[in-house]
Amino acid sequence: MAPEGELSAAPGLQSASVKHERVLRTAGPGRTRPDELPTTQFLWTEELASLLGRTTDLDVSRRAGVHPVTVMKERRRRGIAPFQPTSEPVEWTEDMIALLGTETDADVAELLGIGESSVRLKRRLLHIEAFGDTAHGRAKVTWTQEHLDLLGRVPDAVLAARMGISGSTVWMKRHLAGIPPFRERPARVKWTRAMKADVNRLSQKEFTRRYGVSVIAVNWYRVKHGLMRGRLLHRWEPKDLELVGRLTDQAVADRLGVSSGTVKRKRAELGRPPVEKPVYWTPESEALLGTMTDRALAKRLGCSPALVCLRRKALGRAKYPRPGTIEWTPEKDALLGTDTDEAVGARLGCGKMAAFKRRKKLKKPAFAKR
């Protein structure tokens, strides 16, 4: 920070600062920000512009005879970073104290070139309210009894829009009060004779489209009256249980009209091993081993990936390599660290991450840009 005597205040600055402070202190809860006050164009000379970012905005404002916010705007417009504060103790002057509460603590800290915690601590010691009446520059929320009564009775977003605040603020207030969130209760369904006749005759999609009833309401009606079949509920007859474990899960599912997952869960409850679909390996199907992933080949042949893996290993075939994998040789290892991982990966066709992992495994240092 430049010496105090070197950056002397321009004539008339003190009266303007006092006038600006009076406007802020008498503005009430919705205080006027400095950037909302009438401003005039200021001509920045090369000498003043050279000080931007080299010292605090407050010091530059003293020399230029303008408000610190004007300096901050010009510095940001030029893309200049703020002056970095030092670890030395802050010596608070009257002009610095006059800025407390006129802006958020972060903006005041940037104007003065000191830490935000130092500004917050000094403001609290002097019992000065934060800008916007909160410690983080947000508008203070006034909760009336009418607003409190609406918590949990309407959606948080609706109450937030009515009060002009964020939905997270409403959520936090409701959460601290221990009020459960609002849940809209669906209208009670009146089941007519036609609906009862079609509930198990039509598909779920057709029924909901025809009668305008939700899927949940249809499922509950079917479960209540024992009509639900398929994935959610299936009445297992003794003849159905005889098929489980004797045929493949998909074959049993096709016969009973349920999903294969339902059959799989029932088979696990009974403790029966799965039945694999017999695969007759031909020279053509064996030639495909290793040319694609085991899962892809199993889907083509209609068997499990484990069965394909066992056959591939029995024939001594290598696993299908994943895209981007390469076989590392001493010549390729020698390229690691000679350039960036991205460049080496592009050269070898393995990608940046593969080159990075290989270099880390070999404990080679990264390429240092000069």
Cα distances from 94 to residues 9, 85, 104, 142, 259, in angstroms, run: 13, 19, 18, 33, 78
Phi, psi of 236 (to 5 degrees): -85, 115
Task: Give the pLDDT band (50/70/90) at residue 49.
Answer: confident
Report whether pLDDT(210) > 80.
Answer: yes
**Average pLDDT rounded to a whole number, residues 187-214:** 81
Largest CA distance in the chain: 102
84-131 pLDDT tens trace? 766 677 888 888 888 888 877 888 887 887 877 788 888 888 888 776
DSSP 151: B
Provide the 10 A C-beta neighbour count for residue 138. Answer: 15
Q: What is the pLDDT of residue 69?
A: 85
| Average pLDDT value for residue range 243-261 | 80
Which pLDDT band, with edges at 50, 70 and 90, does 182 fall under?
A: confident
Is residue 58 within 8 A of residue 96, CB to CB? The reply is yes
Which position has the higher pLDDT, 284 or 369? 284
Name the residue ranges covered by the structural domains of the chain.
13-133, 145-176, 204-270, 283-314, 323-370
pLDDT of 205 over the 80 cut: no
Residue 227 CB contacts under 8 Å (≥ 6 apart), including other chains: 199, 200, 221
Torsion angle of the four alpha carbons 103, 107, 111, 115, in this order, in degrees rounded to the nearest 10: 120
Residue 35: pLDDT band (50, 70, 90) is: very low
Q: What are phi and psi of 247, to 5 degrees?
A: -115, 170
pLDDT for the residue 258: 73
* pLDDT the model gives residue 302: 73
Three-state secondary-structure class, residue 55: strand
pLDDT in tens, 53-94: 888 888 888 888 888 888 888 888 888 888 876 667 788 888
Which of 177-186, 197-206, 322-331 ranks highest by mean pLDDT? 177-186
Residue bearing the bigger pLDDT, 97 or 183: 97
**Which tokens sit at 130?**
């934060």
Mean pLDDT calculated for residue range 197-212: 78
pLDDT score of 136: 46
Q: pLDDT value at position 134?
A: 47
The pLDDT value given to residue 247: 82
pLDDT in tens, 15-32: 344 444 443 444 444 444
pLDDT at position 25: 43
Percent of the chain at pLDDT > 90 equals 0
- Provide mean pLDDT across the span 165-169: 80
pLDDT for position 185: 67
Q: Per-residue pLDDT averaged across 156-161, rounded?
A: 85
Write down the pLDDT at residue 323.
62
- For residue 85, the model assigns a pLDDT of 63
pLDDT tens profile 264-302: 888 888 888 887 766 678 888 888 888 888 888 887 887
> Is pLDDT of 135 > 60?
no
Determine the pLDDT at residue 132: 57
257 Rama class: left (phi>0) / alpha (psi -120 to 50) / beta: left
pLDDT of residue 225: 78
Please determine, for residue 254, whether its predicted confidence score (pLDDT) is greater than 80: no
Give residues with Cβ within 8 angstroms of 256, minimum separation 6: 234, 240, 243, 263
